[in-house]
Amino acid sequence: MNTEILTLVVTFQAKPGKENDLRTVLTNVLAPTRKEAGCLNYDLHVSSGDPARFLIHENWASKAHHLAHHNSPHIQALLPRLEELCAPSPQVTVWRRIG
């Protein structure tokens, strides 16, 4: 198993009028995600210039841990809500730590 730390940055843009709903559903997955095996951090941010724009910065002990997270019940329940609340779809970038 690859034990290299996996970093993801996920950005979300709420549809007009859906800002509070998106904030709520994203906030609701913080606690269960932080308890998952291999979760090093899982932090939600809101743009200082756009209250409809959110970012999750997450670090996982391995790709396998992130895959388990993606398949967790709370994330699987979140995914259909994102189509309803976000436009465009969330943007995911994957990063590797150097140094």
Residue 2 clears pLDDT 70, i.e. is over it: no
Question: Tell me: domain 6-96, CATH 3.40.50.150, correct?
Answer: no
Q: Do you know the residue count of the chain?
A: 99
Q: Output the CA angle 17-80-77, nearest 5 degrees.
A: 115
CA 99 to CA 90: how far, in whole Å? 29
First and final C-alpha spacing in the chain = 21
- Give the amino acid at 33: T
* pTM of the predicted structure, to 2 decimals: 0.91
CA distances for 98 relative to 4, 5, 6, 55, angstroms: 10, 10, 11, 22
Write the pLDDT tens digit of every residue in 56-98.
999 999 999 999 999 999 999 999 999 999 999 999 999 988 8
Span 7-30, mean pLDDT? 98
Pairing status of strand 39-46 against strand 53-60: antiparallel
